[in-house]
Amino acid sequence: MKKQKAPATRVRGKDVRYYSSPRKYKGEPCPSWRIAYYVGTKRVRERKNTEEEAKARAEELVQKLGDGSIHFDLKLTPKDNVKIIEALTLLKDAGGKTGLVDAVRQFVEAEKCLAGQCSIMEAVREHKRQLDKGKMPEITVPQLVVEFLAHVNAEGLTRRYRMDMQAKLHVAEKSFTGQVADIKTRDVDNWLDNLSGKSKRTKKNYRNALQTLFSFARDKGYLPRNQDTEVQFSRDYQPEKPAIGTYTPEELEIFLSRISPRLVPFVALGALAGMRSAEIVRMQWEDIRLDTKQIFITDAVSKTIAREIPICRALAEWLKPFKKQKMKGNVLVRISNGLALAKRFSAAVKRIEGKNGKPLVKIVRNGFRHTYISCRVKLTKNVQQVSLEAGNSPRIIFSNYLRIIEKEAVAKKWFNIFPTVERLKEITDAIAEGL
């Protein structure tokens, strides 16, 4: 009795086959039928005595394979069950139109189609971006830079910010000359990598400037709304944490006694009140109250929050000549922004020389504020109080400003540097002459 294959019954691309497969019973051939099919990757075979039974079982299997109710020997761990339930829940939350098997099948087909060139989500985002691209007005990066800088000027933001954004974006527009919507993350990464001679901190600043530009483009409808920009997916450079630099009381004394009288308020307020340079530039004499020993940092002056700073005795003495002349307006005369302050301060420090012609002091970035906070914490033993005075959180105080002052005497000396009679007269004369 020869084996004979019957027509196959198919379901979703999988065959359920039944065919004649005689076997011997007590030495004599006996009719028998085999049924063969696959569940997943596992091949399963069953046997029936007649063709009718085999055909009926095949049709039953077609139905069970179709609705996923067929049982086969698969051992699922409790973790497997949790994952399956989680997957089904996700599909249900997505609308429930796609079954688990179809979802996995589409995922596998997509992975094969992409062949490792990018992730599925990257492909979806790119496809969505291309669909949205046709709905948005076109604009090139140079055109966008012009529009953005005009917006910044109209908003009345600080000159330093405007100049900084202008400088960085003019560099960017030389590399990105095409449509804003065509720029991809890899283009941004390549641009940042090729900024030769730039530190990680500088590259991070350039990336932030470009991200600000792209966020502006999204707000104006040149990029899809409610979506992250390509810059946000680019490499975010993490610069090394700079060392916390401080001055000694002896160096502060040199600064206060030798610096140009016009810059005495800058040094005094930075070193003895811990104010930021940008805050001192915006500071008004009216907000310095020697009678109540308080400095009021308003919202218009502060980088973070409005606050009050106590005036120590030494600071009061350094500021008295200016207050006696009833000076009004900006604390710093004819210095309207941070760049101008940095240039004037650098030039003034270079003129503080010893008898051998060598500079007596060097500029330490944020040195006055760092030292104020460090000495103030040493004396008060209260980081929370100092953070309120400095306008920073305790966490930032510890991470960015605080340097351990070993001896309390050093901290006390910092806040007890007073002007001499001769220095006060020099400052008073300079004020009378218009600084």
In order of their start, the domains of the chain are: 9-67 (3.30.160), 78-133 (no CATH), 141-233 (1.10.150.130), 249-432 (1.10.443.10)
Q: Is the pLDDT of residue 6 over 60?
A: no
Instruction: Determine the pLDDT at residue 74.
Output: 58
Instruction: Determine the pLDDT at residue 57.
Output: 87
What is d(CA 257, CA 264) in angstroms, rounded to the nearest whole number? 9
What is d(CA 128, CA 224) in angstroms, rounded to the nearest whole number? 9
Instruction: Average the pLDDT over 402-431 and give the result.
Output: 93
Q: Is the pLDDT of residue 100 over 70?
A: yes
Give me Rg for the CA atoms of the chain.
Answer: 38
Instruction: Determine the pLDDT at residue 134.
Output: 64
Q: Is the pLDDT of residue 107 over 50?
A: yes
What is d(CA 109, CA 115) in angstroms, rounded to the nearest whole number? 10
pLDDT tens readout for residues 261-292 = 999 999 999 999 999 999 999 999 999 999 99
Task: Give residue 408's Cα distance to chain centre.
Answer: 38
Q: Which of 168, 137, 138 is nearest to 152 (CA)?
A: 168
pLDDT tens readout for residues 201-212 = 899 999 999 999
Q: What share of the chain is helix, strand, coil (3-state, %, to 5)?
A: 55, 10, 35
Contact assessment for residue 369 and residue 390, using Cβ atoms and an 8 Å cutoff: yes
For helices 100-114 and 78-93, what crossing angle results, to 10°?
90
What is d(CA 247, CA 369) in angstroms, rounded to the nearest whole number? 10
Q: How many CB atoms lie within 10 A of CB 351?
A: 10
**Residue 70 binned pLDDT confidence (cut-offs 50, 70, 90):** low
Instruction: Determine the pLDDT at residue 11.
Output: 47
Contact assessment for residue 12 and residue 63, using Cβ atoms and an 8 Å cutoff: no
Q: Which of 270, 244, 271, 278 is nearest to 396 (CA)?
A: 244
What is d(CA 59, CA 67) in angstroms, rounded to the nearest whole number? 13
Following CA atoms 366, 369, 373, 375 in sequence, which dihedral angle do they give, to the nearest 10 degrees?
A: 100
What is d(CA 154, CA 174) in angstroms, rounded to the nearest whole number? 24
| Ramachandran area for residue 320 (φ above 0: left; ψ -120 to 50: alpha; else beta) | alpha
Phi–psi pair at 237, nearest 5 degrees? -70, 130
Contact assessment for residue 405 and residue 375, using Cβ atoms and an 8 Å cutoff: yes
Strand partners, 295: 288, 309
Q: Is the pLDDT of residue 8 over 80?
A: no
**Residue 347 binned pLDDT confidence (cut-offs 50, 70, 90):** very high
Q: Is the pLDDT of residue 160 over 80?
A: no
Contacts with 43 (C-beta within 8 Å, 6 or more apart), sequence order: 36, 37
Task: Give residue 88's Cα distance to chain centre.
Answer: 34
Instruction: Average the pLDDT over 51-74 and give the result.
Output: 76
Global pTM reads 0.57
